[in-house]
Amino acid sequence: MPTPRYIHLNGSLVPWDDARIHVMTPCVKYGALVFEGLRSYWNEDEGQLYVLKLGEHLRRFHQTLRVVRFDGNWSDETLTEGLIALLRANEVRQDVHMRIAAWVDGDGLYDSTGPCGLMMAAYGRGSGALEKKVATAGVTSWRRINDTAMPPRLKVAANYHNGRLGILEARANGYREAIFLTPEGKLAEGAGACLFVVRDGVAMTPPVTDGILESVTRRAVLGLLDELGVPIAQRSIDRTELYFAEEAFFCGTGVEIQPISAVDGLELGCPAPGPVTRALWDRYEAVARGRVPDHDDWRLAVYPSATG
């Protein structure tokens, strides 16, 4: 996708290159930024673009803004209208990744809570074929941040420094992705995605109290696996259970469903993508793109008619 024409900045659509903030903002100086990553899926047959699970993303956005005590407050209606207007102005007719972010603007210090800026952007980040996403992973020696200091439940940019340390170490060790353990040594999540482990036919994922972001996709995956008849368990998982697994995959808005082939150089039981991961992806993609009528409450149509 070429560079989009417009970006939403503080209530207006501005040319992409004009969306700037000052280097002395608390956002730049201290990482005072809250964000959401979302996706829209293009349905070619219907000529329609669907925003996936906007309501859940906005809910988490508001929850985080409240806890970090930002002054900025935007209603769901304002955010939804702004996002739809942006997608239409850019005439988006393909899969896109989107970002909604609020930050502390002005020239304050690390205790500033305003004024706040708001941006929304939609840009090309195609939805990849499952086979192309297969990745090796390594358990990083950096532990996951936790609720006593840097709550992973809050979607703040500063948390991603932990993710960066892990993934850069994993890459240096020859793996594509990183898996974090909690300080207690239980599986937490990836640098930018949640983790599922399929062992003896049961799809297990760490509970929301084991150092993870409360992921919109994780919740969707739990529902879809249940519909597919796969037994599910939300429980603390030991590192060695991962080595015994038939399958493992990451899930998140960005990575969608990402199969893991090996962890720490140990191949998993099934060649990736394994059958559970495959069936899940087929179902997830069909629902996200509106190829099946089910879960229509997950999708928000961007264009007023089928012809767009």
Ligand X SMILES: Cc1ncc(COP(=O)(O)O)c(C=O)c1O
Give me the residues that bind ligand X (CB under 6 A), please.
Answer: 37, 163, 189, 192-194, 213, 215-218, 252-254
Token code pair at residue 294: 């089910």
3-state secondary structure of 215: coil
Output the smallest distance, CB 296 to ligand X, in A.
20
Shortest separation between residue 218's beta carbon and ligand X, angstroms: 6
Give the number of other CB atoms < 10 A from CB of residue 129. Answer: 9
Show the tokens assigned to 226: 């249940």
Q: 64-79 b/e with 16+ CB inside 10 Å = b?
A: bbeebebebebeeeeb
Does the annotation count 133 as an active-site position? no
- For the bound state, the minimum distance from the C-beta of residue 252 to ligand X, rounded and expressed in Å, comes to 3
* Minimum distance, C-beta of residue 163 to ligand X, in the bound complex (Å): 6
Q: Is 32 left (phi over 0), alpha (psi -120 to 50) or beta?
A: beta
**At its nearest, how many Å lie between ligand X and the CB of residue 181?**
14
Q: Are 17 and 9 in contact (CB under 8 A)?
A: no
Q: Of how many residues is the chain composed?
A: 308
Q: Which is nearer to ligand X, 66 or 164 (CB)?
A: 164
3-state secondary structure of 237: coil
274 DSSP 8-state letter: P
CA angle 228, 231, 235 (to 5 degrees): 130
Of the residues 29, 53, 132, 155, only one is catalytic, namely 155
Of 45 and 297, nearer to ligand X (C-beta) is 297
Q: Which is nearer to ligand X, 38 or 270 (CB)?
A: 38
Using the minimum distance from each CB to ligand X, give the nearer residue, 9 or 212. Answer: 212
Tell me phi and psi for residue 135, to 5 degrees.
-135, 150
Beta strands in 18-105 (DSSP E): 33-43, 48-52, 96-104
Whole-number Å distance between alpha carbons of 210 and 238:
12
Which CB sits closer to ligand X, 79 or 216? 216
Q: Which residues are catalytic?
A: 155
